[in-house]
Amino acid sequence: MNETTAASSEIEFWFEFGSTYSYLSVMRIEEAARRHGVDIAWRPFLLGPIFRELGFEGSPFTQQKEKGAYMQRDMARQCRKLGLAPWQTPSVFPRACVLPLRILWTGRDEAWIGAFCRKVMERNFVLDQDINSVEAMTDVLDQLGLPAAELVRDAQSEPVKAALRAQTEEARRRGIFGAPTFFAGKEMFWGNDRLDDALAWAASDIER
């Protein structure tokens, strides 16, 4: 694959920070995309309104207790398989994450965005800490050497709030029903288990 091909391939990565399987994808997508020569388009959205429309309050994992119990066990196995920190059930689930999603929106084209997303996910699922307060986000942005006060202020502006609402509306319009969801062109892939297939699709020119 040459540089020209690599530059023309893109994967859209739709997720939110409260989502357990999105955590798995966030931690590995930059490295995996680089391997495939694919660029990442970061697409934050809110799962809550999508789930409510599907008839779930909170999350399918909290409403269906058998599925929720299984997910915890599966996450433990997946974290081990992917070489992540040992899984622990978060004390709050799903965690509210509108502020980091707004920061993600404002920084979506910046070089630091992958590192920011990993820090937020680790705060939620490894450190088991709040991710929706100004203090939490200031701490994360400080660690990355970024202008925290400015970024948090920008993220709380009306245009950014409206943009995140529009993203969620766009997710609904495109038939997204969970996270993570990937698009390679019009081709949709759901779940961390499909990340590699999605990247391979994006990297190829195959029309199937």
Query: Which parts of this chain interact with its own copies (CB under 8 A)?
Result: 54-55, 64, 66-67, 69-70, 73-74, 77, 80-81, 175-178, 187-190, 193-194, 197, 208
Q: Give the nearest distance from C-beta 21 to its own copies in angstroms.
A: 12
Q: Assign residue 188 a region: left if phi > 0, alpha if psi is -120 to 50, beta otherwise?
A: beta
Kindly tell me which of 72 and 129 has the beta carbon lying closer to its own copies.
72
The nearest distance, CB 86 to its own copies, in angstroms, is 11
Q: Which is nearer to its own copies, 69 or 149 (CB)?
A: 69
Shortest Å, Cβ 99 to its own copies:
28
Identify which of 88, 43, 84, 89 has the alpha carbon closest to the alpha carbon of residue 62. Answer: 89
**Strands of the sheet with 39-44, listed across from one edge:** 39-44, 10-15, 181-184, 187-190
**Measured from the CB atom, is 11 or 155 closer to its own copies?**
11
Residue 133 in contact with residue 8, Cβ under 8 Å? Answer: no
Q: Radius of gyration (Cα) for the chain, nearest Å?
A: 17
- Residue 10 DSSP code: E
Minimum CB–partner distance for residue 34 and its own copies (Å): 23
8 C-beta neighbours (distance < 10 Å), count: 12
Measured in residues, the chain has a length of 208
Residue 35 vs 77, nearer CB to its own copies: 77
